Amino acid sequence: MASTVHAPRGTQDILPPDSARWSALEARAREVAGRFGYEEIRTPMFEATELFVRGVGETTDIVEKEMYTFTDKGDRSMTLRPEWTAPVVRAALEHKLFAQGARRFFYIGPIFRYERPQKGRYRQAHQFGVECFGYEQPQADAEVISLAWDLVRSHGITDAVLHLNTIGDAACRPLYRDALLAHFRPHLASLSEDSQRRLERNPMRILDSKDAADAAYIATAPTLSSVLCQPCRDHFEAVQNALRSANIPFVLNEKVVRGLDYYTRTVFEITSSVLGAQSTVCGGGRYDELVSSLGGPATPAVGFGLGLERFLMILDALGIHSETTRSGVQAIALGADARERLFTLVAQMRQETSMPVFMDFGDRKILAHLKIADRNAARYALILGSEELAKNEIVLRDLQTRSERRLPLGSGKEVCAAVGELE
RNA sequence: GUGAUUGUAGCUCAGUUGGUUAGAGCGCUCGACUGUGACUCGAGAGGCCGGGGGUUCAAGUCCCCUCAGUCACCCCA
């Protein structure tokens, strides 16, 4: 509080013990992606601004008002990555990865959007996500969704809901857009201010409006299913069947339309009731046109992004914690001579074992040392005082069962072996 | 960008209609216990009351500005 420099608005420091939860989640995400055959891809944290303008869409909110854009010393316009899909496609194109057929990637890392922070919304957020390139088959949609669902379910999250929709493709989506324009335009003046803006930009978004002024017109609006082309219809049917066969529960929700321009056909969201106004923890869908629009070969693709902050918020709200188990050894030295001798032993032990070895260097009473052991959640204590030193012994205490035994004060290897016997 | 709301100890918060040296719980340090921990008891450390300006004999308290947090709108992870 006395410090005058703060973390920038909308960013946060991740401190212990939270940092441990983060790395555990990241490890789980990597593991699940690996099980599905996805390989990690890492891209720069900033890119040429043009990539996002072309990839995400000029009229999206991200490009219009949320990008962290700066001019570098070479007078190039650069932008901090606001989303991962465009950079992943750019990298794959740049390195000709599509020449080898279908590819599956996952990513994990920060994104940046200039917004007013609120619950579940930050200027630097972190996403895990996957992109599956090269399959137009509906099984690819189902696989990507299963992967996200697997991560959610494996954490014991029970209140998650999978919302599924289709928004058509290059053949039928323009027809729907025209139909919506024709429906709303006569009532333009009566629509909410936001929806008036949305009309030309993305009329599908009006359907998502919460404004009472729009409700009547939304109720009578044409539905996408009335103009959906047969191939899109068939694809959507097949995705649903694939999900059923994979035992993934979903609800159809025509309001899910997604904010990015590149989506085609399947779109989906996973929501949780505990997240507040930002109920979406995971969003994604198919984007068959993006690769070619960025100058690549016609390549169907489907993927999702999942917000790690929001995922952890769900775990918090649902009271899901990985229970802390005691592990490792607290080395306790009483007096300077013992400390010197014990430090040598600790150094040896750290080369012998993968379990944590803690040591406090303070001049404390044994009682204070044992409290520190509790704080570290150590399973064992190794106690060395003048008494033991004189007899060339050391006390090994099991902090859980409260039993203890005396060992000869040997090498780190011997002490580790003695601890191992108790495990 | 717009709106609402909150800033007091490391954390969670009290603080009367403005009235002397600003409080509690938890945590921390030390002790009760010459060397044995989740309990108990005692003591101690720790505050420009977010920052700046104003009103007043007197401001943590009232007014203005500013910064920051939180939540909501827009939109999204």
DSSP state of A81: -
Distance A66 CA to B73 C1' (A): 16
Q: What pLDDT sits at residue A383?
A: 94
Residue A163 beta carbon within 7 A of nucleic strand B: no
* pLDDT above 80 (res A20): yes
Show the DSSP H helices in A189-335 as ranges.
193-201, 212-219, 230-245, 290-293, 308-317
Residue A316 beta carbon within 7 A of nucleic strand B: no
State how far the alpha carbon of A66 is from the alpha carbons of A113, A256, A259, in Å: 5, 21, 13
Nucleotides of strand B within 7 Å of the protein's CB atoms:
1-3, 8-11, 28-31, 33, 35-38, 48, 50, 68-77
d(CA A389, CA A7): 49
| Selection from A60-64, A188-192, A253-257, A282-286 with the highest mean pLDDT | A282-286
pLDDT (average), residues A143-160: 95
Query: Looking at the predicted complex, does its ipTM rise above 0.90?
Result: no
Residue A71 beta carbon within 7 A of nucleic strand B: no
Q: What pLDDT sits at residue A325?
A: 81
User: Which of residues 166-205 of A have CB within 7 Å of strand B?
Assistant: 194, 198, 205
Q: Which nucleotide is nearest to A60 (CA to C1')?
A: B75
Computed over its alpha carbons, how large is the radius of gyration of chain A? Answer: 28
Distance A2 CA to B57 C1' (A): 32
Q: Which nucleotide is nearest to A306 (CA to C1')?
A: B77
Q: What pLDDT sits at residue A29?
A: 97
Nearest residue (CA) to C1' of B34: A365
Q: What pLDDT sits at residue A3?
A: 47
pLDDT (average), residues A215-231: 85
Give me chain A's average pLDDT, please: 91
DSSP state of A248: -
Q: Where in chain A is the domain with CATH 3.30.930.10?
A: 18-172+228-317
Q: Which nucleotide is nearest to A307 (CA to C1')?
A: B77
Say what angle helices A85-94 and A49-56 make with each other, to 10 degrees.
110
Q: Taking a C-beta distance cutoff of 8 angstroms, is the pair A113, A82 a contact?
A: yes
Higher pLDDT, A313 or A197: A313
* pLDDT above 80 (res A143): yes
Q: What is the pLDDT of residues A259-314, one digit of tens each?
A: 787 899 999 999 998 888 888 999 999 999 999 999 999 999 999 999 999 999 99
Q: Domain A18-172+228-317 adopts which CATH fold?
A: BirA Bifunctional Protein; domain 2 (3.30.930)
Q: What pLDDT sits at residue A40?
A: 98
Residue A321 beta carbon within 7 A of nucleic strand B: no
Distance A2 CA to B52 C1' (A): 16
Q: Which nucleotide is nearest to A362 (CA to C1')?
A: B29
DSSP code per residue over A131-185 = EEES--SHHHHHHHHHHHHHHHHHTT--S-EEEEEE---TTTHHHHHHHHHHHHG
Residue A235 beta carbon within 7 A of nucleic strand B: no
How many CA atoms are closer than 13 Å to the CA of A32, on its beta-carbon side?
23
* pLDDT above 60 (res A5): yes
pTM exceeds 0.80 for this model:
yes
Q: What pLDDT sits at residue A1?
A: 42
Query: Cα A289 to chain center, whole Å?
Result: 25
Residue A2 beta carbon within 7 A of nucleic strand B: yes
Q: What pLDDT sits at residue A47?
A: 97
Q: What pLDDT sits at residue A112?
A: 96
d(CA A89, CA A107): 12
| Selection from A126-135, A208-217, A268-277 with the highest mean pLDDT | A126-135
State how far the alpha carbon of A423 is from the alpha carbons of A178, A324, A331, A380, in Å: 70, 17, 17, 10
d(CA A217, CA A212): 10
Retrieve residue A127's tokens.
């996403």
Binning pLDDT at 50, 70 and 90, where does residue A190 land? confident
Q: Which nucleotide is nearest to A403 (CA to C1')?
A: B36
Distance A67 CA to B66 C1' (A): 26
State how far the alpha carbon of A54 is from the alpha carbons of A51, A87, A295, in Å: 5, 11, 11
Q: What is the pLDDT of residues A227-255, one digit of tens each?
A: 899 999 999 999 999 999 999 999 999 88
Pick the CATH number of A329-422 from 3.40.50.800, 1.20.1440.120, 3.40.50.300, 3.40.50.1980: 3.40.50.800
d(CA A80, CA A52): 10
Return the residue matching tokens 């109720």.
A219
Residue A288 beta carbon within 7 A of nucleic strand B: no
Residue A400 beta carbon within 7 A of nucleic strand B: yes
Q: What pLDDT sits at residue A2?
A: 41
User: Which of residues 323-382 of A have CB within 7 Å of strand B?
Assistant: 334, 362, 364-368, 370-375, 381
Higher pLDDT, A211 or A354: A354
Distance A151 CA to B55 C1' (A): 60
Q: What pLDDT sits at residue A149?
A: 97
Binning pLDDT at 50, 70 and 90, where does residue A4 land? low
Q: What is the pLDDT of residues A350-392, one digit of tens each?
A: 999 999 999 999 888 898 899 999 888 899 999 999 889 999 9
Residues in chain A: 423
Kindly give, in sequence order, each residue whose CB lies less than 8 Å from that of residue A337, ignoring residues fewer than 6 positions away: A386, A389
